[in-house]
């Protein structure tokens, strides 16, 4: 895992240097591509750098347990449990971050809600469901637009199609 993280860090540094290149800055398409890659790598590199610091502190605390200084041994003894917890949490977070992204994740979506059988109750539920999805999309910062809708007789929707960008 550390080798892969080190390679990601190296790529992050390369992209950071490339973003200062005037030729890339002048080419908006290329600049946008590099900026997007930089932001995605940054989400991995920041926890990795913190993980490296925690590993260093952990190794120092382990080594300090064998020190001739009594205060140093006590301090190391007190710090080790916290560092162990931080180390495990960061390992878990980094493992999740290293899972490859789905290529479809950055694409837009079409959401269709149909009332189905159940009459008025189903159309009311479809309306509630639409409201829930609209609030979720707003919370995530996604744009929504109603493409098509067919209202129910007492409220709600028989069918509604939503575009999520």
* pLDDT digits 0-9 by tens, 50-89: 999 999 998 988 888 887 888 888 888 888 889 899 999 9
The average confidence (pLDDT) of the chain is 89
8-12, 29-33, 49-53, 98-102: least confidently modelled range = 98-102
pLDDT beyond 80 at 106: no
pLDDT beyond 80 at 105: no
pLDDT of residue 109: 93
Write the pLDDT tens digit of every residue in 119-147: 889 999 999 999 999 999 999 999 999 99
Find all residues with CB under 8 Å of 65, minimum gap 6, and list them.
73, 76, 77, 80
pLDDT beyond 90 at 2: no
Distance from first CA to last CA of the chain, Å, rounded? 34
Considering the chain, what percentage of its residues have pLDDT values greater than 70? 100
Considering the chain, what percentage of its residues have pLDDT values greater than 90? 47
pLDDT of residue 11: 92
How far CA 133 is from CA of 60, 114, 126, in Å, comes to 50, 14, 10
For residue 163, report the phi and psi dihedrals to the nearest 5 degrees: -100, 125
**Residue 118 confidence class, pLDDT cut points 50, 70, 90:** confident
Domain assignments of the chain as residue spans, ordered by start? 2-97, 109-164
**Residue 13 confidence class, pLDDT cut points 50, 70, 90:** very high
pLDDT of residue 161: 95
Q: Provide the CATH topology of domain 2-97.
A: Methane Monooxygenase Hydroxylase; Chain G, domain 1 (1.20.58)
CATH class, 109-164 region: alpha beta
């Amino acid at each position: 895992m550390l080798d892969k993280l080190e390679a990601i860090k190296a790529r992050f540094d390369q992209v950071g240097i490339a973003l200062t290149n005037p030729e890339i800055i002048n080419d908006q398409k290329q600049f946008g591509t590099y900026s997007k890659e930089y932001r995605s790598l940054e989400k991995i590199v920041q926890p990795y750098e913190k993980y490296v610091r925690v590993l260093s502190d952990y190794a120092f605390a382990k080594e300090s347990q064998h020190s001739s200084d009594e205060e140093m041994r006590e301090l190391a003894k007190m710090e080790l449990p916290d560092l162990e917890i931080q180390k495990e949490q960061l390992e878990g977070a980094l493992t999740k971050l290293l899972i490859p992204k789905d290529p479809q994740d950055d694409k837009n979506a079409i959401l269709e809600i149909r009332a189905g059988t159940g009459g008025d109750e189903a159309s009311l539920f479809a309306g509630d469901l639409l409201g829930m999805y609209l609030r979720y999309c707003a919370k995530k910062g996604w744009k929504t637009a109603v493409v098509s809708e067919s209202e129910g007789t007492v409220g709600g929707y028989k069918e509604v199609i939503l575009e999520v960008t």
